[in-house]
Every structure is written in C-alpha cells, then in structure tokens.
Amino acid sequence: MTKFIFVTGGVLSALGKGLAAASIGRLLESHGYKITLQKFDPYLNVDPGTMSPFQHGEVYVTDDGAETDLDLGHYERFTSTQTTKANNWTAGKIYEIILRKEREGKFLGKTVQVIPHVTDEIQKSFYAVANNNDIVIVEIGGTVGDIESLPFLEAIRQMKLSLGSDVIFVHLTLVPYMQTSGELKTKPTQHSVKELRAIGIQPDIILCRTDRPLNKDIKGKISLFTNVPLNAVITAKDVNNIYEIPLHFAREELDLIILQRLGLKPKTRDLKKWTTMVRHMNNPRDEVNIALVGKYAGLQDSYISLNQALFHGGAAHQIKVNISWIEAEELENGSPEKILQEADGILVPGGFGVRGIEGKIQTVTYARKNHVPFFGICLGMQCASIEFARNIAGLQDANSTEFNKETPHQIFFKWRELKGVFDLGGTMRLGRYSCTLEKGTLAGRIYGKNEIHERHRHRFEFNPEYESRLREAGLVISGKNPDHDLVEIIEIKDHPWFLGCQFHPEFKSKPLEPHPLFTSFIGASYAYRCRKKTS
C-alpha cells in the first residue's frame, strides 16, 4: 500500500513548502524508500507556461514536455525522482478535465459539483503517481484560509478518511521573532492550525519556519494549542544554503517521526554524500564571479534552476559562485567594459521577447573579444549566433524573426515556419530531445560521449539556410538533433570557453550530479580569474 504525505502551508505564502517537501523526500530516500512528489496549485491557469516570470517565477520543464511549477525542480534536485506531467496539477487543469467530461456527457445529466466531482478528480491525480512508489509526497499550494485551496484541502481530508494511517499531514507555519519584545510568537501558528482543523484536518507534524532554534517551552506551547505531540513540532530554521535543510530535519529526527506515523520501519539513514556536498559548498577554497545578463534579473526565482546549476558547478570544484545580476537593458545604455569588467565568466540565459536583446548581443561581443568564458542558453545561443553573423560573417542586419520580422537575414525563425521543411508539429519544442555531438569539439570533450539528451523550451530554431555560410566564417556547430537536423550547440574557435546551446541544461543539474556544462564553465571561469590575477 502506497503511503501519502500531504504538505500544507499557513500564515503566509513563500515559506518554503516546496523545499520542505523535497527535503522530506531526500530523508526518506536515505532510508531506501522509493518516493515521488507532486505539486497542486490552486490557480485557474491550466499550466504556468503562459504566466509571467514576474508573477510565477521560473517555468520548469520535464522530460515529457510538461511546463510546470518551479518546485518540481527542487523535487528533482533533492531526490532521484523524475517528474512528469502527472506530478504537477493546477485547479485549471482539474476543471478542464471535468468540463470536458461534462461536454462529452460522461456525467449522464447529473449536476456537476465541487463535491464529489472535483474532489474525486483531485484524488485520482494523487493515485496517478502511486504505482511502484512506497511514498507519495504531495505539496498543496497556497495558504490555508485561501478560498481557492478549499477543494484540494477537502480532497486530502477525504483521503485520510479513506486510508487512515496510510496518510499523514505535515503543516508548515511561521513562528516570527518580535524584535521589540524579544519574543518568539506562536499565535500565527495556533491560528493557522485552527483554520486547518476547522475543515477537518488535524496535522500530524508541524514545521515551524523561524530564524532561530525553538526551545522546549515554545515547542510545548505549540504542541498544547495544536494537539500535535511535542516531538512532532519541528524547527524549520532559516539556512544560508538550501541543501542544509535535510540535515537540519535529520537532527530533529523528522524522518523517524514520519516513518513511525506511517507504520514503516526506519532503515540505516545514509546521508554521507549529501553531507560531504554541503560541506564543500559551505567551505570553498576560492570564489568566482559570474555575470548573469538577463531580462528578469530583478526576480531571482525566474532563474532558480540556473542559479542552482551554477552553484552545483562550483561545488564540483569546491569554489563559491558569486552571481552578479545584470539587466540586459543596462548594457544598451551603458558601457559593457565597465559593467562586465569584474566578471570571470558571462552567462546569457533563456527568455522570450525583444526587450534587452541588443544589450545581450553587446554582452556576447564583449565576451568574444576579451576571451571571457561565455555560456549562452536558449535565447543566449540566439544572441551568440546573431552576433557572430553580424560581426564575423559580415551579415550586418542579421537577426531573429522574434526580434525583427523584417530582417533580411533570418538567423533564427519560428518553429512553425520550419513545418514546411521538417513536418514538425506545434509551436514550441518542449521536453527531451537527443543531440549528436561532433568529436574533438568543446562539447564533445565536456560530455565525453557521442549522443546526449537534454530538455528544451523554445519556439525559434537556427535557420539551416545560414548553416554553411556561418560555418565558412568559422562558427563551430558541435551538436545537432539527429531526427530533424536542427542545430543544438554552437562554439567559436580560438576562445578559451565559448558555447551556446539551444536546450536548458540547468533542468538536469543536481547537487550530487552537477551538469557537465556548468562544471566545465565554472572551471574555465576560475582559470580565467587566475590568469587575470597573474597578468
């Protein structure tokens, strides 16, 4: 029988339910149990693919091409689970299924209601990932008390009624410290649990987000007013490094409490590799400065997988990675030499739209001319290709149709415009695609294999009509999709490290398995830093 852990949140949003759920998954895997994680969001969008990064943060992409919530990235980074479309649900997605069934007459004329039809559909989604897993950890988005979350909370209440001890509830709340009185306040937690109990859910475990350890008296007060055993009131203390969270929870024996509540036997907890990784991250031998030139630099959640992949690459060398957030538009109005002079490596990430494009192209020029390690991802590869076409191949008006539909030299154009040539469906290339690497290239040396598989999320492709012309000018095309002959990776010669890729390698990087491109990029950036010091 598969066990279920439902993680809810109270008091306010952004307390870190996703990280808490992922950390619980890490701990349970350390006992040898097979787990998976799900995220349920109460908003009515069918998926986050069309939502602004400023509102929702990064859109994470799975191998099967699902555009999902960013917390699925935490799930995959912290655990060995590989998420799919079945691991992320929204209220919009649930209602879409129900309304389609109603239109098809599958309810046989019955009145379609939140209970039981919506709650039944939500419960079906829980079971969709249960097969072959010992434990399913489900994060319910939103905050207890929000009207949008009520159908999901009702569904998990019904799950407890059906499955009894095979279901437990973990509730994350806030215990703030009042500077004026010098006290930790438990009242927000008390009220949050009261809201939860009012709809029929009694938490088994409370995770108390706080900036300092909770003493026994504070925990005792929370235990008394929430009807949760004292040992199940857990300190969820703020950390500088998110990968410390499972270790903090382990010290509070959260994993043992969960296993006991679920009727599962604890095994020998194995966190040796995880502990070593955290130690390397927290005790670097040196540092490196990476300039990240994007259009959402004001909101770091827009590039959360990218940030983490850079940190993973640094940990592989035991080097601290300092990220400088630079708005691409700043480079259009200022001097790249002044803005980028402290950078040991430059990264231009993915994105959509014309804003800041010329600033990114100027960034590429600076990196190419000054031999600064450069990494262009998705949109960054577009910019690198356009910069090369303009300044090396002599195609002065070269551009992408995404930025200028009237350009005489369409170095990149839309996926749908390729349909006539390659008979491809859809307007966006999403999910896992293969790539064949050229031997002897930078990419070939980094990966050490002939074929790789990476995740994509983009609409615009390298125009094959310009491939031979740019090759003749010196562009190295080191990776191509073998199914449709699409360009996947570009490089330039006579540069210490210059690479652009059409895919998003950050989605496959883990702290215990850093992505080879990020490991190599950080290594090259550190070598550049060392050369600067000695020159």
| pLDDT tens digits along 24-42 | 999 999 999 999 999 999 9
**What tens digit of pLDDT does each residue of 204-227 get?**
999 999 999 999 999 999 999 999
What residue has token string 């602004």?
A: 52
Q: State whether the Cα torsion 491-492-495-498 is positive or negative.
A: negative
- State how far the alpha carbon of 527 is from the alpha carbons of 50, 116, 317, in Å: 40, 61, 11
**Tokens coding 436:** 């064949």
Q: What is the CATH number of domain 3-276?
A: 3.40.50.300
Q: How far is CA 284 from CA 168, 287, 510, in A?
A: 39, 7, 18
Q: Considering only CA atoms, give the Rg of the chain.
A: 25
Residue-level pLDDT at 402:
85
pLDDT of residue 452: 98
- Residue 344's φ and ψ, nearest 5 degrees, are -95, -20
Q: pLDDT confidence of 192, banded at 50, 70, 90?
A: very high
Q: Which of 277, 331, 329, 325 is nearest to 301 (CA)?
A: 325
pTM value is 0.94
pLDDT tens digits for range 401-450: 888 888 999 999 886 666 555 545 557 899 999 999 999 999 999 999 99
CATH superfamily of 284-534: Class I glutamine amidotransferase (GATase) domain (3.40.50.880)
Neighbours of 115 (CB within 10 A): 11
Do 3-276 and 284-534 fold alike per CATH?
A: yes
Active site residues: 378, 504, 506
Q: What would the pLDDT profile of 176-188 be if each residue is shown by its tens digit? A: 999 999 999 999 9
C-alpha–C-alpha distance, residues 130 and 138, integer Å: 11
Q: Residue 79 pLDDT > 60, yes or no?
A: yes
Residue with tokens 């990280």: 19
Residue type, 161: L
In the chain, what is the straight-line distance between the N-terminal and C-terminal CA atoms, in Å?
Answer: 64
CA distances from 200 to 13, 161, 330, 425, 528 (A): 21, 10, 53, 47, 60
Kindly list the domain boundaries of the chain, sorted by start residue. 3-276, 284-534
